[in-house]
Amino acid sequence: MARYRDFDGRTRRVERWGKTENAARSKLRVALQDRSALARQGELSGASYLRDAIKLWKERFDRAVEKGTRSPGSAETYQRHIDGHILPALGELRVAEATTGVLDRFLTQVADETGPPTAKACRSVLSGVFGLAIRYGAILTNPVRDVSPIEGKPRKAPRALTREERTEWLVQLDTDEKAVRRDLPDLTRFLLATGVRIGEAIAVLWSQVNFTTGEVTFDSTIIRVTGKGLLRKTTKTDTGKRTLRLPDWAMAMLQRRFLANPRLDAPVFPNTEGGLRDPWNTRRDLRNARGSAKFAWVTSHNFRKTAATILDEAGLTSRDVADQLGHARPSMTQDVYFGRKASNPRVVAALEDIFDEPSKEESGG
């Protein structure tokens, strides 16, 4: 027998019987769990199945997507990992049974079998699910908080195209009939002139190009969502929404393109039918255009790195370059997009004059 305080605040006797004392205790424990779950219908408790907690969390995430505060791409990615990894391994557990140790073993296995990026995505989902469980009072602490760090491969140093490589790359594209049909020469020049992401470049409409001021406004990107096709969605952050001044040669290229198709509601870089271009297909076209092994490393992101490095070498501040790329934090720009310099003459000049008197080597002493 136990005394249980119900949802209405009243304390009632709960009794269960069994052939043995342990059997009776076990039945009583189950009865109390069921009573607690019944009192919290539509919510979560420690006795709830993890699959139900995940479903509730995903429903809330999807509502946030509809409001525009979460990305449809993230929702699709999370659902893929929920269906492919989390539910098969953990879905039948009770919320209270998903301890740090259980989750740590699961994430370690995912990292070993499919890679750290997938494990990190699963961790993000689980952290959100158990955060929701805390808010419902189902658990007191988030078991994901203390799982082992998920170690990935060291990030490769950014590589920017040199002046000679840029020239050779563009000559290669200009003389490749297939690349020309895919509109890659102009698209590459646009990426180099702006440093924007490929999804941002193909989302630009002619109404966002100001030929009077030589500026282009970026506020959207193109993504593909299963069941919905291509979507033109606003960028993630306020810093992603920006107006950039382009060099004269880039504006001349845009002027030529606009005269061939003067429709303000059309994309600057459309697909073959004049509609939105698929970013995945565009990246594939760029890979196919790389030709020789010399450019086997080139991706659309290398053009972004190249633009950032050019601006850095021209003496612009990290904040200036971050604004160009749409980064909220200049540290992100420095760590990921700047090509590293082997040596800096300004450092040597600064260190030359650190003594009040000449060194012994200079004075011959």
The CA distance from 102 to 150, in Å, is 15
Token readout for 131 is 């955060």
The pLDDT, as a whole number, for residue 37 is 54
What token pair was written down for 2? Answer: 């136990």
| Whether the model pTM is above 0.85 | no
> How many Å apart are CA 212 and CA 315, to the nearest integer?
27
Amino acid, res. 218: F
3-state secondary structure of 97: helix
**How far is the CA of 122 from the CAs of 52, 213, 363, in angstroms?**
16, 46, 65
Partners of 3 in beta bridges: 13
The whole-number pLDDT of residue 56 equals: 95
Which residues of the chain register pLDDT less than 50? 41, 342-343, 359, 363, 365
- Which neighbouring-strand residues pair with 5? 11
Please give the pLDDT value at position 359: 47
pLDDT digits (tens, 9 = 90+) for 223-264: 887 777 888 888 766 777 888 999 999 999 999 999 998 899
Quick one: pLDDT at residue 334? 63
Cα separation, 123 vs 152, whole angstroms: 14
> Which residue bears the tokens 């100001």?
210
- Of residues 156, 180, 182, the one with CA closest to residue 170: 180
> What is the tens place of the pLDDT at every residue in 175-193?
999 999 999 999 999 999 9
How far is residue 51's CA from residue 35's CA, in Å, rounded to a whole number? 20
**pLDDT at residue 41, as a whole number:** 46
Q: Alpha helices of the chain — where are they, by DSSP H?
A: 21-39, 50-67, 72-81, 87-90, 100-114, 116-135, 163-174, 177-181, 184-194, 198-201, 248-260, 279-288, 300-313, 318-325, 330-332, 345-352, 360-363
